[in-house]
Structure 1
Amino acid sequence: MAGTLALFSVTAPAQQRDYKDTYTAADAGKAIAPAAALDVMLTQLEVQVIRAAEAMPAEKYGFAPSTANFATGSPAKFDGVRTFAQQATHLISANYYFYSTLGKTKPPVDMQAMSKLSGKEEIVAALKQSFAFAHTQIGTVTNANAFTAIEGADGMHTPATLAAFGVAHGYDHYGQMVEYLRMNGIVPSGSK
């Protein structure tokens, strides 16, 4: 799928972020703008997801658990379980879905193409672009609109709750990515 990224209209990939230096003790007791507070949560997720995606070897992007990974006689059923690549591409699509709804804007990518990404390089690049888009959309959350009802938010109702749910949903899939790394003998960076 070389060249798939050419379909994207996002102009610059997200720069690598580090959430540890965002606020200091001197900020305690100060009001923080909703967009800034929500952006910290998104950045924490982004850092962990990107590190996990970069840690998985390219040849393991097709990995998904199977009964062969567990003790004989395990009752676990794994038919249809997402591969590592599919966990990542699901996150890409979810970022565009949730944050385009939040910002009331159209995603700058072909959403059908997101689920078809398969190579590590293109998936990592698309993850970074999806997080860059999400950060831009979180920037639209203000004191005035953070808790104002919005249409089409799948029950999340407000920009603040939709942004928070986008992060919570991301952690569900990040958790799966961590399990897949561990099943392949890789210690996730967040565990070190």
Structure 2
Amino acid sequence: MANANYLFCSTVKGEENPSASDFEKTTSKAALVQALKDAFAYCDTAYQIADMKAMEEVTLMGSMKGSRLWALVFNVAHNNEHYGNVVTYFRLKGMVPPSSQGGGM
């Protein structure tokens, strides 16, 4: 997820991907948690794009074309898909995922 967040958000921001790391190879829980926090923080400014720039076309992953807004929606959908996978693991381990615990997330 951290890799994808950097990819999507750097595209929206019109910047080179600032992360040289491949977090798929990271095995330390602390390092993965920090990578996710950093990636989400990097994306915060991408989600604050001006309305007039939201519909500008960008190219994602070399060939997919769409608006900056489309890339952000794609990022949210991607993150939600992974959260759905995590919910399954929670349930298999007899745990209740945060979104089902009540009281908000």
TM over 0.5: yes
Contact 1:156/1:165 (<8 A) preserved? no
Equivalent position to 1:128, from 23, 37, 51: 37
Give 1 or 2 for the bigger CA radius of gyration. Answer: 1
Count of matched residue pairs? 99
The 2-side partners of 1:145 and 1:120 are apart by 37
Contact 1:145/1:159 (<8 A) preserved? yes
Equivalent position to 1:174, from 73, 83, 94: 83
The 2-side partners of 1:155 and 1:142 are apart by 22
RMSD: 1.4
Q: Secondary structure at the match of 2:5?
A: helix
Could you tell me the TM-score, scaled by structure 1's length? 0.48
AA partner of residue 54 (structure 2): A
Show CA shifts across 1:104-139 (max 9, x none): 112222133x12111211111111111001112222
Moved beyond 3 Å, runs of 4+: none
AA partner of residue 106 (structure 1): E
The 2-side partners of 1:137 and 1:129 are apart by 13
Does 1:145 pair with 2:53?
A: yes
Equivalent position to 1:165, from 71, 74, 77: 74
Could you tell me the TM-score, scaled by structure 2's length? 0.85
Equivalent position to 2:9, from 99, 104, 122: 99
AA partner of residue 186 (structure 1): M
Matches within 5 A, 1:11-160: 91-112=1-22, 114-139=23-48, 141-150=49-58, 152-153=59-60, 154-160=63-69
Higher relative helix content: 2
Query: Does 174-183 or 152-161 show the bigger shift?
Result: 152-161
Identify the structure with bigger relative contact order (alpha carbons < 8 Å, sequence gap 6+).
1
* Identical-residue share of aligned pairs (%): 31
Contact 2:10/2:18 (<8 A) preserved? no
